[in-house]
Amino acid sequence: MITVDDVKKSYQEESQVKRYSDAVCTIGLWKSELLLFTQYFDKQHKILDIGCGAGRTTIGLAKKGYSMIEGLDLSNNLIRAAKQIALEEGLNIRFTCGNAIDLPFNNNEFDGVFFSFNGLMQIPDKRNRLKVMREINRVIKPSAYFVFTTHSGREETGLFLEFWDDYGKKWNTRQQDKRAIDYGDRFFQVDGIEMFIHIPTKDEVEQIIKDSKFRVVQSKLRSEICEEREDILDYSVDCIFWIVQKL
């Protein structure tokens, strides 16, 4: 069965550290991220970027004037890279190595939290994903916003119908990848490294939002929010942005 430790190992790999470090400069903030973050977070807000990687969004927002932003990631190699890039950019940002399942922060500490580029869905086991949502609810202030994305590949775009047809047949005949825990778990390779993602249905996401005492403010495909640059479209397939508010 896939574990959080397996995910951590995949993000410790040199090729992943290089990929995410390069993205800080070459990709930077997506237009959609900038639009939504500036809509829901003030520059004076204390903001937490969970699954910050090498700091693509943390550094991107710090450069836009978000002086109270900080990042957390499971991979200490990515955190080391983020600290180095911030130092080179002359930015004073706190980066912490930690697991979103057990956040090293106080109750109601943040005015806003985000978990970008589908990172929440790289946490194996739906019970762990719910724990993470509850942890985020604990560290965020009442009425504050949490922004995250999920892969759009289940029913939303209809692009992967054949894939899910085949996936369902394998699952029903118990021929699915033996590492999978939940229906929608997917294993794929990036630069020869085995990666994991859970691709949820919208109903499933709505359920964990409800069970962790948030309410949905908005959920929209990235492609409905704005048009992204060509290199960003090559780097990342369409996703769903979820804006949720602590009840």
Q: Please, what is the minimum distance in Å from the beta carbon of residue 170 to ligand SAM?
A: 25
Q: Please, what is the minimum distance in Å from the beta carbon of residue 66 to ligand SAM?
A: 15
In the three-class reduction of DSSP (H, G, I as helix; E, B as strand; rest coil), residue 159 is classed as coil
Cα(208)–Cα(205) distance, integer angstroms: 5
Burial label, 189 (beta-carbon count in 10 A; 0-12, 13-18, 19+): exposed
Q: Please, what is the minimum distance in Å from the beta carbon of residue 168 to ligand SAM?
A: 26
Please say which residue, 32 or 118, places its beta carbon nearer to ligand SAM. 118
Closest among 59, 69, 115, 109 to 89, alpha carbons compared: 59
Please say which residue, 37 or 117, places its beta carbon nearer to ligand SAM. 117
**Which residues are paired to 146 by β-bridges?**
113, 244
Please say which residue, 125 or 171, places its beta carbon nearer to ligand SAM. 125
Conformation bin of residue 93: beta by default, left when phi > 0, alpha when psi is -120 to 50: beta
Binding region for ligand SAM (CB under 6 A)? 4, 7, 11, 20, 23, 50-53, 56-57, 73-75, 78, 99-101, 116-119, 122-123
Please say which residue, 164 or 235, places its beta carbon nearer to ligand SAM. 235
Element (H, E) at 140: strand 140-151
Q: Please, what is the minimum distance in Å from the beta carbon of residue 169 to ligand SAM?
A: 28
